[in-house]
Structure 1
Amino acid sequence: MAFSDFDFLEKNFIHYAKEDTQSKYANKDQVPTTPNQVKMMKELADQVKDYDLESYYNEKTAFAIGHLAANTAGVAPIGFFAHVDTVEFDDRFPIRPQVHRDYQGQKLALDEANGIFLDPEEFPDLLTLKGQTLITSDGKTVLGTDDKAGVAGLLAALKYLHEHPEVEHGDIYVAFGPDEEIGLGGQRFDPADFPGVEFAYTLDNGRPGDFEYETFNASAADLTIKGTVVHPGEAYGLLVNATTIMTEFLAALPQDQVPEKSRGHEGFIMVTDAQSSVDSAHVGLIIRDFDWDEFLAKEDLVKKLVASLGEKYGPDRFQLDLRRQYENIYNGVKDRPYVVNLALDSYEKAGLAPNVQTFRGGTDGNFITKKGIPTPNLFNGGGNYHGRYEYVTVEQMDKLAEVLVTIADEHARQSKEGQDKRPLEKYW
């Protein structure tokens, strides 16, 4: 049974999916990095006014902000985030969503001429979507499920609240953000745009029922190695080969703590790029771990390896730039379990079995949590994110809308009757 307006959901998703809002890291000094993101956010700021929200576009942060006033007293404000940008893709082709009604699990030709098929044998989750309205790309671009599905679900929830004033809720703030895919949007968010908000949720990737309040702690490192070039015929005791030193450094990294050998709650150190000559070498690394102490230990390991090589070859030959990227959302919610338990209660009330997962990545919620607003991640539906095989169903976006309304309603109820004081349960 539909919770919200299916035609409204489908129309909004397709409309916004067609807009090319990819973010581009090469333009990182622009806010936001592409002009079409501004166009979409201003359009959203105008649209939500139809549902009783006050809204504006923040030119400094590039967030579109909406505020739905409370219809009952004594309920702390909450917030929801959806991002408008998509990953970069081949923009020679326009985005053309394809609608497959009453999908029955068959193999779909997205771009038959180029052999692009959406096949349940390759993507078995498609078999769980029988009878639903499936939306795909045409096989030439991404669809934009990440995060246009979150946008569409949030709009449907706001429309529902507008049409059902009997649903009690406190102040609700919504933010449509830029540049999430390149890790810049959440860093720029200004908490002053969410006055009094005690917690929020991102509506990013995941199937209905998925919930994440544990992400990686993350650092990036750049190691530059300086060699000394001498003619090889006269090199004895003089030449210092930066390539040789780089190879020594790479060999000293833990070979079992890499992405291809890590899963679940395990972290890793990944070499993302390496270039070298005799004269100089560069190594790029990312460091990831859920556990804070293990994360610090991995950072310390890299520092000690460089220091050890400095003792051997001279410290002036090495420059290590180690910088924090984001911190685990769990660090900000572990002492505030209500934000987690409210979501899990709301899932169950909406008929969803919660599927709590560790998120092997990061979201805007990492940065927003660090700013003092604990922000775990719900879901947006769909699957095969970041590629031409992306999909979503209208029914999955409808379930997101139902969960958002349920969270607002349940938060109002618990605020009046007394917030649940259960501790945070670990699921890993």
Structure 2
Amino acid sequence: MDIVERFLNYTRINTTAVPNAAHLPSSSGQTELSILLAGELRDLGLVVETRDHSIVVGTLPSNIKDGRKAPTIAWVAHMDTSSEYNTDTRAQVVDYTGGDITLNKDLNIVMRLEEFPELKRYQGDQIIVTDGTSLLGADNKSAIAEIMHAMQVLHDNPEIEHGEIKVVFVPDEEIGLLGAKALDVASLNADFAYTLDCCAVGEIVYENWNAGEYHITFHGQPAHPMSAKGKLRNAILYAHQYIGMLPAGERPEYTEKREGYYWVKAVQGSVAEAKIVVDIRDFTEAGFETRRNFIDTLAASFNQLHGEGVVTVEYRPMYRNAAQGLQGENFYPVELALEAMKAIGVSPYAIPMRGGYDGAVLSEKGLPCPNLFCGAHNFHSIYEFLPVGSLNKASEMVIEILKRAAAKS
């Protein structure tokens, strides 16, 4: 099957993640996609396990015949798409000759070159886009297509030497890396892993945020306004005061590169009780712990000011910086990927990822996992697009990594 056809087939299944769902996966479309992928993997000669939570694990045995032992490499992709849009994807392939791209003539939705100048580098290529009413789902279905195409290449070319391969598809990355957290990593018996979940050709990630989430509750005391003096304690105003005491310049909209932040991302409540959700992000362990201490100290000071129990704090860890699991000999998968990119004519460049990815969880669990490019742009947007040349190049990279790992064994 052609790699473009594969990708388009996957986009036709709506796998939008559903925040705060009480089950994993959070949407039935992810289970539908997992069943399709399991069948395709079996057709390509892999031994397939369909695990709890619609996690799919395929194993392709090593074909090295002279006794050499190559590392077992796991390739991981997530099946869900982000919840910014939950509409069905209607992808289209455009022969790009330059200028703007009209996504939807009827709705006058246009991807304008002046807003997306990166389009220039793909003039003469085919580009897969949406009709302007949904996400494309290249995050992360491009990776699924790239990994599956690589398995197709190995199936059709048995002379290509490779070690044991694990193909792993997990749900609900977009709402907290939940599939990776549910995955039994030890049972994979892999030496290291890769995700393909960053953007343009050449990107490689081996450091990302330390991330945590605080749920902070403010307890007030209602009273009728005609007799409220000295009695009314307004939880809404407590929350407002607390937010105002956070460092004003350390918000997402004011930071870039390796600058950390506090992000107030949800507020709800009444006079009696108000709740806020505050995310903290920092690349360094020391910086992250400083932010944690600030939140906790501010809450303690608030209770001293307004009375014990006025504010309560619940901390929820999210993920850690993958760099902590990619030190020393665990840096080898990064070196291998850099070599493979150069061998296929790609100039690699490392980026500090201002976000999380499944590999951060896997690395923390003891499975070193850098993040490689999938070739797509504008994740989480109706202007998401995927050049066909980049789609093919990412799959070529997968094959090259496997070949080089086998040759080094």
- The TM-score with structure 1 as length reference comes to 0.90
**1:147–1:205 Cα contact (<8 Å) kept:** no
Residue 211 of structure 2 aligns to a residue whose secondary structure is: strand
Question: Which residue of 83, 90, 97 corresponds with 1:88?
Answer: 83
Q: Match of 2:335, as an amino acid?
A: N
* Structure 1: gaps (5+ residues): 1-6, 416-428
Whole-angstrom distance in 2 between the partners of 1:21 and 1:288? 28
Cα shift readout 1:230-259 (whole Å, capped 9, x = no counterpart): 344544443333233223212221112111
Residue 218 of structure 1 aligns to a residue whose secondary structure is: strand
Residue 275 of structure 2 aligns to a residue whose secondary structure is: strand
Residue 175 of structure 1 aligns to a residue whose secondary structure is: strand
Whole-angstrom distance in 1 between the partners of 2:147 and 2:159? 19
Whole-angstrom distance in 1 between the partners of 2:335 and 2:27? 37
- Change in CA separation of 1:284 and 1:168 when aligned onto 2, cut-off 3 Å: same
* 1:177 is aligned to 2:170: yes
* 1:350 is aligned to 2:344: yes
Aligned pairs (5 A) from 1:10-409: 10-27=4-21, 29-58=22-51, 60-72=52-64, 73-88=68-83, 90-91=85-86, 94-101=88-95, 103-183=96-176, 184-195=178-189, 197-335=190-328, 336-409=330-403
Q: Match of 1:407, as an amino acid?
A: I
Per-residue deviation, 1:380? 1.0
Cα shift readout 1:342-379 (whole Å, capped 9, x = no counterpart): 11111111111111001111011122112211111101
**2:198–2:204 Cα contact (<8 Å) kept:** no
Whole-angstrom distance in 2 between the partners of 1:283 and 1:30? 24
Per-residue deviation, 1:216? 0.7
Whole-angstrom distance in 2 between the partners of 1:51 and 1:193? 22
Per mean C-alpha deviation after superposition, the further-off stretch among 32-41 and 254-263 is 32-41
Whole-angstrom distance in 2 between the partners of 1:163 and 1:357? 35
Q: Match of 1:385, as an amino acid?
A: F
* Structure 2: gaps (5+ residues): none
Whole-angstrom distance in 2 between the partners of 1:406 and 1:164? 14
**2:210–2:288 Cα contact (<8 Å) kept:** yes
Residue 378 of structure 1 aligns to a residue whose secondary structure is: strand
Residue 100 of structure 1 aligns to a residue whose secondary structure is: strand
- Change in CA separation of 1:105 and 1:281 when aligned onto 2, cut-off 3 Å: same
For the aligned residues, what is the CA RMSD? 1.7
Whole-angstrom distance in 2 between the partners of 1:95 and 1:281? 37
Per mean C-alpha deviation after superposition, the further-off stretch among 10-19 and 236-245 is 236-245
Cα shift readout 1:380-417 (whole Å, capped 9, x = no counterpart): 112111121111122111101111111111112223xx
- Change in CA separation of 1:234 and 1:96 when aligned onto 2, cut-off 3 Å: closer
Q: Match of 2:126, as an amino acid?
A: T
Which residue of 2 is the match for residue 422 of structure 1?
Answer: none
Q: Match of 2:61, as an amino acid?
A: A
Equivalent pairs, count = 404
**2:19–2:83 Cα contact (<8 Å) kept:** no
Moved over 3 A (4+): 230-239, 275-278
- Change in CA separation of 1:49 and 1:316 when aligned onto 2, cut-off 3 Å: same
Whole-angstrom distance in 1 between the partners of 2:15 and 2:223? 50
Residue 75 of structure 1 aligns to a residue whose secondary structure is: coil
Residue 113 of structure 1 aligns to a residue whose secondary structure is: coil
Per-residue deviation, 1:95? 2.2
Q: Match of 1:249, as an amino acid?
A: Y
Per mean C-alpha deviation after superposition, the further-off stretch among 330-339 and 290-299 is 330-339
Identity of aligned residues (%): 33
Whole-angstrom distance in 2 between the partners of 1:39 and 1:279? 44
**1:65–1:193 Cα contact (<8 Å) kept:** no
